[in-house]
Structure 1
Amino acid sequence: MLQRYHGRSNPPEQSELFSLALTVSLDSFVTSNWALLSAQKRSAESALVELQNEHDRKIKQLHMDKMNLESEKMQLEQNANVLKVKNECLLQEKEQTSTRLQYSEKQFSSRIGDVLKACNNVESSLTSVSFFSLWYAGTAKILSYWVQAFISPGKLAGVLRVYIYIYCINLIAELGASKP
């Protein structure tokens, strides 16, 4: 079947067959490579689309988180401003209350001093030492301790009135008992 030609190693049909086989194998190689490259391209494109979608979701989520944080920040700033205003109001109220308290303390100290002077004048007008003068001295001392220690100005006025009434009743009783 194959005859040898002089000077040639391959007969012409064999070289054509070889060239045809080479062309077919190259075509199948190119086709298979082309199919492989196409598949890789589709895979890469789908992976890219998936990554882009994931990236878009993350961007949307971060945008929502940012908006939530900004909203929370604005709310906290508003709360801080409200608290600042409340603090300023409370500080002013505290200052006014402190001023009123100081004024009341001075006023009641002055009144107590006047009452004590009046009591001292009444006591000195008594000619004899009696139980009443001892009671008055003890009462005046207790009254001064109350004023200094723990009685608030509002309660102090009521306590002073009661003590003055008791003092007057005892004075009347003492004077009535000393008359023959």
Structure 2
Amino acid sequence: MTSTTPPETTANPDAVHTLADLATQVDRLRRHAALGHAKRTLSNRDVARLLHRELGHEIPLSTLGNYLAGRTLPPVLLFEALLRVLGVPDQQLGVWADAWDRLYDSLTPPRPTITAPPPRDSAPAQESRPRRAATAGVAAPAAALAATVLVTALLVRWFRRPVPDCATAPPARHGRP
């Protein structure tokens, strides 16, 4: 007899704390979704076909394989589409999104905190660095100014060149010998 247990009870999003946990829970969803296809589990190709129908574009099998094996975390929109094609009802998507967020937070290194620079010391060795940094900030605008002056000088010279006088030019023949 086939089991009619809904997918939200076969897979537990609260048990997701690592990529391996995610792979285990998604595998449970795959096995449950396979019941409707008369299979033991959905293959990566089967999942790729279902995702293609859901998203309108293909996911490379190697990429999908990395997601399903727990090697990498899928992007959140792809994860939501994956849950939908595996039969997770809309009411349960929020709990799965919490699991994704929890996993993402555990995999993402914390951002470095920005602290105020140490107070300036009057030692000459430390003063030379800020001076170098200050002059580096002037170099780019100075180079831009020099380029502008050069282009302007070339344009002025171009427009001051002599223009041939039309009165001294030979007449056009207009096709007559």
Normalised-by-shorter TM-score class:
under 0.3
Provide TM-score, normalisation by structure 2: 0.23
Greater radius of gyration (CA): 1
- Taking structure 1 as the reference length, the TM-score comes to 0.23
Q: Considering fraction of residues, name the structure with more helix.
A: 1
